[in-house]
Amino acid sequence: MEDSPNISYLRARLGGKILDSHAFRGDDTIVVAREELREIFRFLKEDPQIDLSFLTDITAVDYLGKKSPRFEVVYHLYSLKAGHRLRVKVPVPQEDPAVDSLVPLWKGANWLEREVWDMFGIRFRGHPDLRRVLLYEEFEGHPLRKDYPVNQRQPLVPERELAGTFVDQRSDNKLLQLQQKLTAKR
Amino acid sequence: MKADLKELPVETMDLQMGPSHPATHGTIKFDLKLEGEKVLECDVAVGFLHRGFAKMCEQATWTQVIPYTDRLNYVSPLINNVGYALAVEKLLGVETPPRCQFIRVIMSELSRITDHLTCCGMAASELGAITVGFYLVEARELLMRIIEAVTGARLTISYTRIGGVKHDLPEDFGEQVAKAFEKTRRLIADCERLLSRNRIFIDRMSGTGAISRELALSYGLTGPVLRSTGVSYDVRKAQPYLVYGQLDFEVPLGARGDNYDRFICRMLEIGQSMRIVEQALEKMPVGPVLLDDPRVVLPEKEKVYNSIEGLMHHFKIIMEGIHVPAGEVYLPVEGGNGELGFYIVSDGGGRPYRVRVRPPCFIAMSAFHEMIRGAMVADIIPTFGMINMIGGECDR
């Protein structure tokens, strides 16, 4: 298949860094290695001709048993000036699921990367605050992995201790009474 | 004396606002660090409405995903339906008949109007302008009735099919819309008179929750929140899908990126959406509303009940699902709150391998702390209201 103009341009500029490319249904896609991820994205963002300065989305796909390496982190970029899009895919192995964070380039990468960590367990190196975002910290496993069963139950988690919380110690505090009752039962 | 007072040390206070707060419609928690009434830091916690949309989609056939998409942004479910159907059609490489495309545009725009009416009405009523809230919800009700007449439901509509829509518009649709729009325009004009020179409203909205153009782009904001900063990005104009290229409309822009500009952008967009609907109704051709492709579309009921081939065909599509060729596509549509994108991956089977929704309000909420830093606690309410966070879409 012949490359689209944008992919030809990227092939000329990035050369061997592009592992694979396709333009299925008109969506320009390149596959790059994770080692030079940040430099490649810096180029895509700052190069005046390709000008992919708008980060649309970050997500991942788990190709368990279908592809090796197992995961692919998928980035969607958009050019506000030229109006074209590009999908960048980064293969990530199961043994060391981690890629460089793009937060230094785009602030919007923060929550999107947190969501990928939450759902797929892929770490982002250099992320300022890699916590779960949609699920709770005590959640076990990463639900969008293909080996996470759809009917998996989660253990009950104890109530969190909140440091510095104001507790009404007066005798008529019904909530306190209830708590004391419950602890006495246990 | 006053100078002395200013220098008094103020102890910072942690305050949890939410997850169930009467002034924030939507389940969300703000962990605030306050100095008096000033917000020093704001950590937003989302996910209270997470129900595993993506995981559920992987269990269902391509068609069974449509009802799940209703429940994303449940204020404008038709746009989600249309976006998902378009993405699957792009992966299939098919195009729907012209009449269907017009119907999808009309229904999307009606949905966008209800979305903006809800957002603006609720935001105004949270600031005390309850009359405006009632007026705009009344206008929304008029349009909801039309949506109900077409789809049979108010919110959980599941109107599109892969390859078309469920059925054609009712015969008197044009008159219904004309009547509803006339009333809606009157109600909006009333609200405009109530708000546009209202001191309280302007004080609460103007200059609050502002975000700069650079930051908005860095955060990947879209929709009215981005357009209020003056960036002209609307998927309907940038990459026209369906028949938006044939229709004449404008994209209202703001300048300062504050709540007031967002409000005005949304109000003006309502007018533009009405224009689109009226033009589309004029230009709409007659013809089928569903693709004539046995690979994608269910056979007519008459064939199903009266012939074994029809029955088998029906059974195969229902049980196995449509066979979508292996591959991946990303398709964005302009939702009520911004770019609603569907990234879907197929492995060639009857079920999606991966469905990812790019949720515009999740991304807008990720920039919320920037909008609110240094502002008052009270400014959270209009800022949150104008982002129009919809739990179903944000938390999926």
User: Is B139 a member of any domain?
Assistant: yes
> Domain containing B151: what range?
53-291+328-395
Output the pLDDT for position A168: 65
Report yes or no: A77 at the B interface, CB cutoff 8 Å.
no
CA proximity to B207, closest of B30, B37, B375, B33: B375
Contact B210, B314 (CB under 8 A): no
Confidence label for A165 from pLDDT (cuts 50, 70 and 90): low
Task: Report which of residues A77 and A5 the model is more confident about.
Answer: A77
- The residue of B27, B91, B214, B218 whose CB has the most chain A CBs within 10 angstroms, and thus the best one to mutate to test that interface, is B218
Q: Rounded CA gap, A152 and A147, in Å?
A: 10
Confidence label for A178 from pLDDT (cuts 50, 70 and 90): confident
Output the pLDDT for position B389: 85
Class of domain A5-185: alpha beta
Please report, to the nearest 10 degrees, the dihedral formed by the alpha carbons of residues B206, B208, B212, B217 taken in order. Answer: -110
Output the pLDDT for position A58: 92
Report yes or no: A136 at the B interface, CB cutoff 8 Å.
yes
Smallest Cβ–Cβ distance between B354 and the set A55, A61, A150 belongs to A61
Could you give the strand order of the β-sheet that contains A54-62, starting from the edge strand earlier in sequence? A18-22, A29-32, A85-92, A71-78, A54-62
Output the pLDDT for position A116: 92
> Between chains, do B341 and A76 touch, taking CB under 8 Å as contact?
yes
Confidence label for A114 from pLDDT (cuts 50, 70 and 90): very high
Asked if pLDDT for residue A75 goes beyond 90, the answer is yes
Output the pLDDT for position B20: 80
User: Is B209 a member of any domain?
Assistant: yes
Output the pLDDT for position B357: 92
How many domains is chain B partitioned into structurally?
1
Task: Report which of residues A161 and B41 the model is more confident about.
Answer: B41
Interface A-B: count of C-beta contacts within 8 A: 93
How would you classify the pairing of strands A123-125 and A98-100? parallel
**pLDDT tens by residue, chain B, 396 residues:** 455 556 666 778 888 887 887 777 778 888 888 888 888 888 898 888 898 899 999 988 998 899 999 888 888 889 999 999 999 999 988 888 999 999 999 999 999 999 999 988 888 888 888 888 899 999 999 999 999 999 888 888 888 988 888 888 888 888 989 999 999 999 999 888 888 888 888 888 888 888 998 899 999 999 899 999 988 898 888 888 888 888 888 899 988 888 999 998 998 999 999 999 999 999 888 888 888 888 888 888 888 898 988 898 888 888 888 888 888 999 999 988 889 999 999 988 888 999 999 999 899 999 999 888 888 888 888 898 888 888 888 888
Please tell me whether the interface predicted TM-score (ipTM) of this complex is above 0.90.
Answer: no
Chain B positions touching A72 (Cβ under 8 A) are: none
What is the mean predicted confidence (pLDDT) over A123-145? 89
Domain range list for chain A: 5-185
How would you classify the pairing of strands A123-125 and A71-78? unpaired
User: Is B33 a member of any domain?
Assistant: no
- The residue of B356, B362, B368 whose CB has the most chain A CBs within 10 angstroms, and thus the best one to mutate to test that interface, is B356
Q: What CATH code is carried by the domain that includes residue B124? A: 1.10.645.10
Asked if pLDDT for residue A95 goes beyond 80, the answer is yes
Contacts of A81 by beta carbon, 8 Å cutoff, 6+ apart: A51
Q: B30 forms bridges with which residues in the sheet?
A: B17, B44
User: Is B240 a member of any domain?
Assistant: yes
